[in-house]
Amino acid sequence: MISRNSELAKRYSVFLPNKEINEYEERLEEVALGYTRYLNGHCIKLQGNLGYVWRNGLMNTATIHDYWLATFQVDLGINSYYL
């Protein structure tokens, strides 16, 4: 948490296909940085992420198989504290 109402997150994931599907699927890696902001006592959450996905262990921004990704999400909830 950066403050009581905001946080930063980083994520790294890797998909390693097993021997049975290795000839059909490639190694896939993803790295992302995200920011979350909570509003109205955590009843509303705004979240965004920016990341990059690459295949076969090599980052290469010149290929069409590797790509940037961006997500934005809004969560609305009811906090029993306010009821």
Q: What's 21's domain CATH number? A: 2.20.200
Report the relative pairing of strands 6-15 and 44-55 from DSSP bridges. Answer: unpaired
| Domain enclosing residue 24, as ranges | 6-82
Instruction: Judge whether 76 lies within some domain.
Output: yes
Contact 50, 33 (CB under 8 A): yes
Residue 57: pLDDT band (50, 70, 90) is confident
- Convert the pLDDT of each residue in 30-45 to its tens digit: 999 999 999 987 789 9
Exposure class string for 29-39: b at 16+ Cβ within 10 A, else e: beebebebebe
Q: Could you tell me what percent of the chain has a pLDDT over 70? A: 92
- Convert the pLDDT of each residue in 3-12 to its tens digit: 889 999 999 9
Averaged pLDDT, 64-78: 89
If you average pLDDT over every residue of the chain, what do you get?
A: 87
Instruction: Judge whether 17 lies within some domain.
Output: yes
User: How many domains does the chain fold into?
Assistant: 1
Per-residue pLDDT, 79 = 61
Instruction: Judge whether 1 lies within some domain.
Output: no
Report residue 83 as tokens: 């009821």
Cα gap 72→58, rounded to integer Å: 27
